[in-house]
Amino acid sequence: MVHSELPTLGEPGCLGQLNPLIRQLRDSGPIVRVRTPVGDEAWLVTRLAELKQLLLDDRLGTTHPDPPNRARYLDSPMLDLVVSNQDPAEAHRAHQALRSNLTPYFSAKRIAGMRPRVGAVVDEYLDAVLAKQPPIDIHTEFSLPFSYQILCDLLGIADPAEYQVVLDRVSRVGAGLGQAQELFRYLSEVAKRKRVQPGDDLASALCQSGLPNDFVGALLAFVTMSYQVTPHSISAAIALFAMNPDQHKLVLDDPELLPGAVGEAVRMSKFAESALPRYASEDIEIGGVTIRAGDLVLCDHGSTAFDDRVFEDPERFDVTRSPNPHLVFSHGITYCLGAPLARLEISEVLARLLPRLPTMRLAIPVSDIPVSGGMSERKLGGGIAQLPITWDPPVPVA
């Protein structure tokens, strides 16, 4: 049955605020019928309790009996490659195998060992930014190059600028299969080089474990696509402090608040609906509705972080918020492996940037912050596209 009057997703919201359409949908129920940006029907999960329940339900996954004719969230070759017609149990085992190959490289000890390098890269890019006159676009001039440098350090890629160009092509909604294949070829070549000349990086470690080049390339692509949101989260964290000088001062006065500030910035970092498409392998009764086998389900991790049934005054940026049980990094077997690295990067950025820019503020109204929006230019992991900030010049010493 076609529902012609279903609300259509796709319009970006405003940083720090729940998209009004999502609020309206959430108020109508925890799981509601919507139309995706490409015109297909789906279920949108709008509340945290039901999201957590579904993320633990093995009847929801990335398999579909007829992938070419399934409902789609976005027109993206990378999302197309995620969905298969495997038996759900086989797909679950394959997912567990993929994660087991990567998990040791994202342990707390390994990520903690990256802190000195991450801090040094923050300082390098921050020095370059602060040498310029404000206002500056800190997303383009800092968050993007910094985060891609760390990603390439992790993977073992020598040229972050070149890799960013490759990713820009494949991440754009509407990109063809050729762009996805280009990414896999690029990463397979990285694996070939690392097999001959290994370094202290993920590609080398995976090669040394005996995995074939193509599989190493696929694992590196998985890490990369999961990482796409990181530069946007960094810029969102900067913007939230630029908008809230009282919270900026709290962290400056008490640096022990920084871990909680990072969690709060992550909670509020997404301001447009986004979700990895999942499909029901069996009928699921939840939230007063029946999700039928084969239905597309959008688990919106970002919007549920504004669920006022869980978070008091959810549109208030509060670095002392506790508890803060958001699911922006997902939950259960889909929990983001790169979450510790993302937290580390945001923490090091804030620890170094906030003291050096005590008068930092947005150079434009928050509602005017450009986003990766407009479906023709939308990207996976999209969010902030530019972030103009300004600050008062230092007072000359007499």
Question: Any idea where the domains of the chain sit in the sequence?
Answer: 20-390
Q: Virtual CA dihedral for 127, 130, 136, 138, nearest 10 degrees?
A: 40
Spell out the residues 6+ positions from residue 90 whose beta carbon is closer than 8 angstroms to its own.
none
pTM: 0.93
CA neighbor of 190 nearest in space, from 164, 161, 165, 221: 221
How far apart, in whole angstroms, are the C-alpha atoms of residue 68 and residue 40? 13
Three-state DSSP state, 233: helix
How far apart, in whole angstroms, are the C-alpha atoms of residue 199 and residue 57? 40
How far apart, in whole angstroms, are the C-alpha atoms of residue 165 and residue 184? 14
* Fold (topology level) of 20-390: Cytochrome p450 (1.10.630)
How far apart, in whole angstroms, are the C-alpha atoms of residue 206 and residue 192? 11
Q: Which two tokens stand for residue 7?
A: 């609300």
How far apart, in whole angstroms, are the C-alpha atoms of residue 55 and residue 345? 26
How far apart, in whole angstroms, are the C-alpha atoms of residue 48 and residue 295? 20
Q: What is the pLDDT of residue 378?
A: 54
DSSP 306-343: G-TTTSSSTTS--TT-------TT--GGGS-TTHHHHH
**Low-confidence residues of the chain, pLDDT below 50?**
1-3, 373-377
Q: Which two tokens stand for residue 39?
A: 């015109």
Report residue 397: phi and psi, to 5°. -80, 130
How far apart, in whole angstroms, are the C-alpha atoms of residue 88 and residue 391? 53
Tell me the torsion sign for CA atoms 148, 149, 152, 154.
negative
In contact, 58 and 92? CB cutoff 8 Å: yes
In contact, 234 and 265? CB cutoff 8 Å: no
Burial zone of 369 (CB within 10 Å; 0-12 exposed, 13-18 middle, 19+ buried) = buried
